[in-house]
Amino acid sequence: MQREAIQSAPQAAAYNAHFRPFNGHPGRYSLYDVIYTCPETGGLLEVHHDIDALRTKSPDAWKALIDSRAGRTVWPYGSGVWAMREWVVPDLRDENVVSMFEGNSNLFWADRLGQQLGVPDLWIKLCGNSHTGSFKDLGMTVLVSVVKQMMADGSPVRAVACASTGDTSAALAAYAAYAGIPAIIFLPAGKVSTAQLVQPIANGAHVLALDTDFDGCMRIVQEVTQDKQIYLANSMNSLRIEGQKTVGIEIVRQFDWQVPDWIVIPVGNLGNISALYKGFKLLMDLGIITKMPRLAAAQAERANPFYLSYLDDFSEKVHVPAGQTLASAIQIGDPVSYEKAAKAVQLSNGIVEQASEHELANAAAKADLTGMYCDPHTGVALAVLEKLVARGEIKPDDRTVVISTAHGLKFTQFKVDYHDGALNSVESQYANPPIYLPADVKAVKEAIARRLPD
Ligand SMILES: *Cc1c(COP(=O)(O)O)cnc(C)c1O
């Protein structure tokens, strides 16, 4: 990759962004300060961009600029995230960008599955086709880049840390290793897939497997990162949201800047749907789009606090003990980004729906039969899609995008157990186990004839 940066027009200097409290409380903090929540209310922060400065460029000029960068070879603009650099962290210096060409993931035309489900204009955004196999790369490139700049400018930060259900730690460990920054990972012992556990180990992170669940790990990492030398990389850190918001923008770009009707996304800690909304809101503010897609948040029935809040019109935040689910990355009972996500659903005229273990596993397997290879979280989203179509919420003509959040290859045991019929609470409707035969031509021909009758 070419390392020369484009010397584009009177550069970014005019564009600027800072942290401010999400709930409207006054306050303004540098993106390079070690701060995660409002010091007065304890509420979440958000990255606020100077929209007037961004509006000095026309919608068409922005579209042309981003189209000219994304997926191309001029570093770092080829990255799907850094192609939108002015919208993400405008004043990050080139030498501090830690990018592994994230984004630019396939928007898969799910033609056959869409026909089967009665929504032919169905697309699956394959965010798992990424460096560490999940959409978490989109947020980590931003967070680790900012940390690199902080450290270069003399900040006391010495390491980055996160609690994780598996994918956050894989992404953090990889980006930190690429940048040469130590990473400390807090995982719930025995509750992440082998592939997810081994990723941070391979990348040299300090992996602490704790005898608790994700919510327990989250409490401990928040204590540990009170020490300003250890920087918190969970999505309560709103730098992550800035990177993740590019996924919605990228979808719009992939449709030649047209907006889909629906986006279905599996949610746990609720950073991802908050980010999705924030990306679309930016496009609205800049006049690049004029309608908001409707957002459907998909939860696993066994870890469904957001669904329960939704049933009660978001009158209050619900937390539950997260039950064990195959969708382990969303096995979260006390979601951090609740306020942001509730607003995202409300302001997008959205919906929250849930899926059982049986439903999610079979929805994933059904999609696999049309050429996909779905992880259980994508299964949750697909099961919810089926319900919303059946209820008539999603109409046959609606252009619908399902966000596939991770790569199926991270969840081999889920696939093996499904096709062995060995998953608890799941009846494998599409099990396709191998046929064991002697090495005998006659037996083989008979087996084929049984499978492919005339
Ligand atoms: C992190 C993750 C999610 C949920 O994202 P949140 O921001 O926690 O809501 C969904 N699927 C996968 C595979 C993930 O890794």
Q: What is the pLDDT of residues 305-351, one digit of tens each?
A: 999 999 999 999 999 999 999 999 999 999 999 999 999 999 999 99
Ligand 1 pocket residue status of 193, Cβ below 6 Å: no
CA–CA dist 307, 303 (Å, integer): 9
Q: Is the CB of 271 under 6 A from ligand 1?
A: yes
Lookup result for tokens 């250890």:
230
Q: For residues 289 and 13, which has the higher predicted lDDT (pLDDT)?
A: 289
CB distance 288 to 258 below 8 Å: no
In tens, the pLDDT along 18-51 reads 999 999 999 999 999 999 999 999 999 999 999 9
Q: Is 245 in the pocket of ligand 1 (CB under 6 A)?
A: no
Tens-place pLDDT, residues 423-446:
999 999 999 999 999 999 999 999
Report the separation in Å between the CA atom of 434 and the middle of ligand 1, taken as the mean of its atom positions.
Answer: 32
Contact between 140 and 185 under an 8 Å Cβ cutoff? The reply is no
CA pair distance 406, 131, nearest whole angstrom: 11
* 145 has pLDDT over 50: yes
CA of 85 to the centre of ligand 1 (A): 23
Nearest-angstrom CA–CA distance, 143 and 256: 29
Is the Cβ atom of 97 under 6 angstroms away from ligand 1? no
Phi, psi of 230 (to 5 degrees): -115, 115
- For ligand 1, say whether the CB of 247 is within 6 Å of any of its atoms: no
Alpha-carbon distances, residue 9 vs 12, 54, 87, 270, 448 (angstroms): 9, 14, 16, 37, 64
Distance 151 CA to ligand 1 centre (A): 28
Please indicate whether residue 331, judged by its CB atom, sits closer than 6 Å to ligand 1: no
Instruction: Give 10's pLDDT tier (boundaries 50, 70, 90).
Output: very low
User: 93: closest CA among 161, 165, 5, 190?
Assistant: 5
Query: To which H or E segment does residue 197 belong?
Result: helix 194-202
- Flag whether pLDDT at 125 surpasses 80: yes
Strands annotated E in 111-217: 122-126, 159-163, 183-188, 206-210
Q: How far is CA 358 from CA 228, 250, 364, 383, 428, in A?
A: 44, 32, 10, 9, 8
* Sign of the alpha-carbon torsion through 126, 130, 136, 138: negative
Mutation choice for ligand 1 from 332, 405, 407, 414, CB with most ligand atoms inside 8 A: 405
Q: How far is CA 91 from the centre of its chain?
A: 24
Task: Report which of residues 5 and 429 the model is more confident about.
Answer: 429
Question: 92 near 85, Cβ under 8 Å?
Answer: yes
Calpha distance 192→188 (Å, rounded)? 7
Q: Which atom of ligand 1 is the closest one to the Cα of 166?
A: 15
Fold of 107-132+241-419: Rossmann fold (3.40.50)
Q: What is the pTM of this model?
A: 0.95
Q: Using the predicted structure, report yes or no on whether residue 271 has a pLDDT greater than 80.
A: yes
Tell me: pLDDT of 383 over 70. Answer: yes
Ligand 1 site-directed mutation target among 242, 244, 377, 403, most atoms within 8 Å of CB: 377
In whole numbers, what is the pLDDT of the chain averaged over residues? 95
